[in-house]
Homo-oligomer: A and B are copies of this chain.
Amino acid sequence: MTETATARRSRITPEREAELYAAVLDLLREVGYDALTMDAVAARTRSSKATLYRQWGGKAELVAKAMRHNKPGADIGSVDTGSLRGDLHALVMSTDDCAMEQNNALMRGLAMAVHGNPDLLKAFRELIIEPEMLEIRRVVQRAVDRGEVRPDNPAVDYVVHMFVGAFVARGMIEDQPPTQSFLRSYLDAVVLPALGVSTSL
């Protein structure tokens, strides 16, 4: 985001911004990304299209920011239990199964829309995937600093891949959204052993 964009955004109150993002996600659930128009967002939120474009640049950025804003559960970077296992389990427990299912459905819709929309792919990557990866890296880096994980463990580069597998394969294979109990079991069976962390604590 440019500094100019930040300055512009600051003219909206956080409450108004949250209201607007919620309306965007409602529309996304109702009609999907491709059928969602800036006109509909403007009408639903009683704002002008000019304001929406000035604040967010376009539909892709607006949708990605709304998804990012809506991210359920704790900010992974703010969790610090003193162990990697504690941090990852706390992260999973911070989102209840219902919110996880809703978020998963939105993400799936967006992931499908991404393929025909290079703008959305760019926004999705810059505003959702990269910040998420940075946060996970911070948590893992703390484990490296504590001596829990070896700095040269090659699985450090694949933590996000492992999580993506849990979310996507769960839907594909078991036809179910990920749940807290599934994710905790996957953490102990896959993520932590790959990182060389004992799960028999």
Contact = CB atoms under 8 A, between A and B. Distances in A.
Identify whether the interface residues of A are mostly helix, strand, loop, or mixed. Answer: helix
Given A158-B189, A186-B158, A189-B154, A111 B172 contact: yes
Interface string A190-201: 100110100000
Nearest to A195: B193
A161 B173 contact: yes
A170 interface: yes
A157 interface: yes
A126 to B, nearest CB: 12
A185 interface: yes
Contacts of A168: 164-165, 168
Interface string A154-171: 110110111111101110
B194 A189 contact: yes
Contacts of A153: 189
Interface residues of A, number: 34
Nearest to A128: B172
A160 B194 CA distance: 15
A111 B112 CA distance: 9
A105 to B, nearest CB: 10
A189 to B, nearest CB: 4
Interface in A134-165: 153-155, 157-158, 160-165
A183 to B, nearest CB: 11
A171 B163 CA distance: 14
A169 B160 contact: yes
Interface in A86-130: 108, 111-112, 115, 121, 125, 129
26 contacts: A108-B115, A111-B172, A112-B115, A121-B175, A125-B173, A129-B173, A153-B189, A154-B188, A155-B189, A158-B166, A160-B173, A161-B165, A161-B166, A162-B190, A163-B165, A164-B165, A164-B168, A164-B173, A165-B165, A165-B166, A165-B169, A189-B194, A190-B190, A193-B193, A193-B194, A193-B196
